[in-house]
């Protein structure tokens, strides 16, 4: 299990090599890479162009929250390895924001756990997003679609 919150970019290939190189029990690897998009899109409509996205966080608190989310995935699925790398600071369209990679003996667990991690990161990770648009800066609030996606994983 690996969680990192960093300002610098990451190398997806190098991260995946580290995740799998010493573990021959991994039969399936699911990967998600989130990027800064140029247009803010919600409900199918293009809204403002995004010139930059600034992510802020509280060091220590953020890592602890990500580690708990990662631990929950390990409790729910038979996982061999996970990595979460989340960036902060000023990012421009096309820049990588987050990497979530999950290794499991079987693909189904890897796919499900990866989707769970991404859904919960979107709603439970303590990051604050400030969009820089041609109309000025604006803080990004929570989105109902993200909440609905995360709600699928709540144990009843």
- pLDDT tens-digit readout, 93-132: 999 999 999 999 999 999 999 999 999 999 999 999 999 9
The yes-or-no verdict on residue 44 having pLDDT over 80 is: no
Can you tell me the distance from the alpha carbon of 43 to that of 130, in angstroms, rounded to the nearest whole number?
20
Can you tell me the distance from the alpha carbon of 79 to that of 112, in angstroms, rounded to the nearest whole number?
11
Smallest Cα–Cα separation from 1: which of 60, 57, 68? 68
Tokens 């409509």 locate to: 45
pLDDT of residue 52: 94
- pLDDT tens-digit readout, 20-31: 998 999 999 999
Q: Which SS3 state, helix, strand or coil, does residue 10 take?
A: coil
- pLDDT tens-digit readout, 50-60: 899 999 999 99
Domains of the chain: 2-150 (3.90.1170.40)
């Amino acid at each position: 299990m690996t969680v990192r919150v960093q300002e610098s970019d990451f190398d997806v290939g190098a991260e995946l090599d580290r995740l799998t190189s010493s573990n021959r029990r991994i039969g399936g690897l699911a990967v998600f890479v989130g990027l800064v998009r140029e247009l803010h899109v919600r409900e199918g409509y293009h809204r403002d162009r995004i010139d930059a996205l600034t992510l802020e966080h509280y060091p220590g608190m953020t890592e602890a929250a990500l580690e708990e989310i990662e631990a929950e995935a390990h409790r729910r699925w038979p996982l061999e390895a996970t990595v979460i790398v989340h960036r902060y600071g000023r990012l421009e369209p096309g820049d990588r924001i987050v990497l979530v990679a999950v290794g499991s003996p079987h693909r189904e667990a890897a796919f499900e756990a990866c989707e769970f991690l991404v859904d919960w990161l979107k709603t439970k990770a303590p990051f604050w997003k400030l969009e820089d648009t041609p109309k000025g800066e604006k803080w990004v609030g929570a989105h109902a679609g993200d909440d609905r996606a995360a709600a699928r994983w709540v144990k009843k």
